[in-house]
Amino acid sequence: MRIMSLRVGPVARVLAILYAAVSPLAVILMMFSNARYLRIPLGLIAPPLVYLNINFDIQHPTHFLTGILLVLFGAACYAATGWLTGAAAVVCFNFIASRTGGVEASVMTKDALT
């Protein structure tokens, strides 16, 4: 079996969920850093190849409520970044797989495991 293409929506959704789940920890760690500002990205990030993003440079929160709002804003931006990055990765995979004949894959069924 060969994988010739992937659907953009499901893969992008999974990466958006993963980015959104990890982002609160990243934003909280940034808040406790000694940096002068916190940088929250929004856009397509595929290091080291591409950085097509907008960086929001935000000062450290001065109140507990602004800290919570910053975590929520960071989660939303990271989720959008994950979706855009996942969608771009799938489009690139589909393009390359169509030119090269896909990726060899095998499927394990439940019956084969018993």
Closest CA to 91 of 8, 3, 4, 2: 8
The residue among 79, 88, 25, 32 whose CA lies nearest residue 60 is 32
Task: Give residue 113's pLDDT.
Answer: 67
Q: End-to-end CA distance of the chain, in Å?
A: 22
Per-residue model confidence (pLDDT) at position 107: 81
pLDDT given at position 15:
95
Q: Which pLDDT value is given to residue 19? A: 94
User: What is residue 77's predicted lDDT score, i.e. its pLDDT?
Assistant: 94
- Residue-range definition of the domain harbouring residue 108: 2-113
**The predicted structure's pLDDT at residue 51:** 77
Question: For residue 27, what pLDDT is reported?
Answer: 92
pLDDT reported for residue 103: 87
d(CA 47, CA 57): 20
* pLDDT attached to residue 2: 83
Q: Where are the beta strands (DSSP E) in 36-84?
A: 38-46, 50-58
How many domains are contained in the chain?
1
Instruction: Chunk the chain into consecutive blocks of 10 residues (it has 114) and report each block's average pLDDT, rounded to whole numbers.
Output: 90 96 93 89 79 87 92 95 92 92 84 68
Q: What is the largest CA-CA distance in the chain?
A: 58
Find all residues with CB under 8 Å of 93, minimum gap 6, and list them.
5, 6
Verdict on whether the full-model pTM lies above 0.75: yes
DSSP conformational letter for 71 = H
- CA distances in angstroms from 111 to 2, 104, 105, listed in the order given: 21, 22, 18
**For position 16, what pLDDT does the model report?**
96
